[in-house]
Structure 1
Amino acid sequence: MSRPLRVGVVGAGKISEQYSASLARLPQLALTAVADLDAGRAEALASAHAGARALPLQQLLEDDDVDVVLNLTIPAAHAEVALAAIAAGKHVYGEKPLAATTAEGRAVLEAAAAAGVRVGCAPDTVLGTGVQTARAAVDAGLIGTPHAATATFVAPGHELWHPSPEFYYAPGGGPLLDMGPYYLTSLVHLLGPVARVTGLASAPRSFRSVATGPKAGLEFSVTTPSHVTGLLQHRDGALTTVVMSFDVWGSRAPRLEVHGPKGSLSVPDPNYFDGSVELCTGEQWTGLEPSAGYVGAGRGEGLADLSLALAAGVAHRASGEVALHVLDVMEQVLASAGAGGAPVEVASTCERPEPVAGLVDLTAGVTL
């Protein structure tokens, strides 16, 4: 690399703190500009990075010192900001989901293809040592050809800790769209894309109450499913059972497991980059030493991967194509649930991303 990829951040909310820490330690990236509706937040983030400036959005998009826009706005604004960045000739990397709808996400990718720029999207947790070590075990045939998987996220509800949780229970929210991207993106890396889905969903409680903060005691309506179950048929034949819920107080179900004729893999929480991978080929589970993935990773690793891929002229791993497919799968699960569980074909597809070969420390300034 001749120089770092210059990053303009749009949206300086809570998640920007994690990206800021990564941008400060990854030599492939340099934060040069920040825009936010709250000028004070933009100034605060910019001041943490030498030479970075707080700018109005349009000025950031037109700035020659910005190569890629890191889109950390709310999901409803993801497509609008991405399209504006693409129109300005910038690459885009965004927080999940890619857009509020599959149609919007497809428009973003089509615009990027026409402009000759790249689109990347979180989650990049799949590039850490947890999922990548599991991927290496699958690819090495330790469990044989996978034929089944389970993915489970359950919680009693975000209103117990979030001071303004209403959006989690409105259309565009819910456990599937909120947490599903971590699990489904991991499944695409492990098992490949999905061809067909069946879904069922419910909202056991019509109202919730805010438990903490200045809105404590406020009751609000639930207008989107808060408990979702799905069955995914992957294009290579494996079947995955998914449970995503804000209606379960406790569970001992594993976060993510993959099963084959020779054994089973327990994959760590895909909301994190690392964790223990365990293999069972008999009666006992055995921990696997980390063997692949970006070590010591944090949010923003996928953007560094994009920077390296640009320099090498190869595909980046946390791609817009994977993010669009994951969004499509989630939409179709909910469409199936709305149709009483009728199977729905998934129109989109994507390539299974290349694995991270071996243990890689991006802070060492590696190249592809």
Structure 2
Amino acid sequence: MSRSVNVGILGTGSIFRAYAAGIATLPELTVTRVADVDLERARTAAAEFGIPAAGTTEELLADDDVEIVVNITPPAVHAPLNEAALRAGKHVYTEKPLAATTELARANLVTATETGRTLGGAPDTFLGTAGQTARAAIDDGLIGTPFAATSFVRSSRVQAWHPSPGFFFQAGGGPVLDWGPYHVAALVNLLGPVRDVMGANAMAEKELAVTAPERTVESVPVEVPTHATSILRFDSGVLATVMYSFDVWDTELPHLEIYGTGGTLSLPDPNTFDRPVRIKRRGDTEWSELPAVTEAKAPATGPFRGLGVLDLARHLDGGPHRASGDFAFHVLDVLERMSLASPESGALTVLSSVKRPAPLDRP
């Protein structure tokens, strides 16, 4: 890009530091303003990362210098804040999920079209080294023709570290919408769009004790399913067996594997960027690590976010849009089908479709 794009971050919650630290490593982006309903928290966050301005949502949306708004507020308010930012003339990149429901997300996409603004959405982790290396391996035929996959998520134990984790267990939360986006985005990047979903959901407990050291509540009610199992059938015919759970605290199952006629790919946690991808072809006696095909690295400071924001900025400059609103909508559509699935419902058709995002250029 020939210029740096100014970014305003809306929300300074638990994922803020990952965005602020990540964007700071990307010279094409500059965070110029941050906003939060807690003004003191916004000012503290701005001071920590040298961000020039901090204030209210209204001030951020009225700031003509802000070109892209990064919405990292709780999921329940993604849709109205996306709407407000788009109508304020901003391009928007929102944390996952795109909105709490596909109905709300669809309205955001319509608004983006009406306003001539661009909407993008997390997760962007499939743009990292692991996601792109696995994509290259599949595109190059290293495991033959993919025919199946497995995808497993155990509890993040959020009640043990988040001071007020209630929203994780309310509408817009749960393991399907919290962890599922990383896995489904990774699968769609590797295998293409999902056609239909079969499955079932369960809830192990109706109330959870909060044990986080700095907790502000002692317990939270559980209002959404906390354990989901599904089979995803892709347009390509590939079948993926998935289990996303807030109730399973320990497991030895792999995060993500792709099975092909010529071998198996083993991927790291899709919530990360740059851990190794392993392969074992038929006839091999050992697993081997694949050489990385991109240079996207997480900083040593910890969790990393920002490649999706950069992807949006480069799209404004004429490049492809990989972490697009349409991509995020399809991921949400799949997850919503998972949330609704039951033995009685049979296969639920995923109403949207999307092309596999273009792979990043290899060096």
1:305 aligned to 2:307?
no
Secondary structure of 2:103's counterpart equals helix
Shift of 1:309: 2.2
| Aligned residue in 2 for 1:57 | 57
Alignment check: 8 A CA contact 2:228 2:243 kept: yes
Letter matched to residue 332 of structure 1: R
CA distance in 1 between partners of 2:266 and 2:54 (Å): 44
Task: Give the 3 Å change call, closer, same or farther, for CA 27–225 of structure 1 in structure 2.
Answer: same
| Aligned residue in 2 for 1:351 | 355
| Aligned residue in 2 for 1:92 | 92
State, as a whole percentage, how many aligned pairs show the same letter: 45
Unaligned runs of 5+ in 2: none
Task: Give the 3 Å change call, closer, same or farther, for CA 194–207 of structure 1 in structure 2.
Answer: same
CA distance in 2 between partners of 1:221 and 1:76 (Å): 16
Shift of 1:17: 1.1
Secondary structure of 1:172's counterpart equals coil
| Aligned residue in 2 for 1:46 | 46
| Aligned residue in 2 for 1:287 | 289
Alignment check: 8 A CA contact 1:6 1:65 kept: yes
Letter matched to residue 293 of structure 2: S
Alpha-carbon displacement from aligned partner over 1:63-102 (angstroms, at most 9, x marks no partner): 2101111111111111111111111111001111111111
**Higher mean C-alpha deviation, range 139-148 or range 19-28:** 19-28
Alignment check: 8 A CA contact 2:330 2:353 kept: yes
Unaligned runs of 5+ in 1: 360-368
Task: Give the 3 Å change call, closer, same or farther, for CA 329–51 of structure 1 in structure 2.
Answer: closer
1:321 aligned to 2:326?
yes
Alignment check: 8 A CA contact 1:293 1:356 kept: no
Secondary structure of 1:147's counterpart equals strand
Alignment check: 8 A CA contact 1:130 1:293 kept: no
| Aligned residue in 2 for 1:152 | 152
CA distance in 1 between partners of 2:55 and 2:216 (Å): 35
Letter matched to residue 348 of structure 2: V
CA distance in 1 between partners of 2:208 and 2:261 (Å): 44
CA distance in 1 between partners of 2:157 and 2:274 (Å): 25
| Aligned residue in 2 for 1:161 | 161
> How many residues are treated as equivalent by the alignment?
357
1:174 aligned to 2:179?
no
Shift of 1:199: 1.5
Secondary structure of 1:258's counterpart equals strand
Matches within 5 A, 1:8-27: 8-27=8-27
Alignment check: 8 A CA contact 2:149 2:238 kept: yes
Alignment check: 8 A CA contact 2:127 2:360 kept: yes
CA distance in 1 between partners of 2:228 and 2:56 (Å): 40
TM-score w.r.t. structure 1 length? 0.92
Task: Give the 3 Å change call, closer, same or farther, for CA 56–221 of structure 1 in structure 2.
Answer: closer
Letter matched to residue 277 of structure 1: V
Alpha-carbon displacement from aligned partner over 1:223-253 (angstroms, at most 9, x marks no partner): 2211100100011111111101122232111
Task: Give the 3 Å change call, closer, same or farther, for CA 145–248 of structure 1 in structure 2.
Answer: same
Shift of 1:51: 6.5
CA distance in 2 between partners of 1:98 and 1:202 (Å): 24
Shift of 1:107: 0.8
Task: Give the 3 Å change call, closer, same or farther, for CA 163–290 of structure 1 in structure 2.
Answer: same
TM-score w.r.t. structure 2 length? 0.93
| Aligned residue in 2 for 1:105 | 105
Shift of 1:54: 1.6
| Aligned residue in 2 for 1:362 | none
Aligned-pair Cα RMSD in Å = 1.9
Letter matched to residue 63 of structure 1: D
**Higher mean C-alpha deviation, range 144-153 or range 340-349:** 340-349
Shift of 1:141: 0.4
Alignment check: 8 A CA contact 1:4 1:30 kept: yes
Shift of 1:188: 0.6
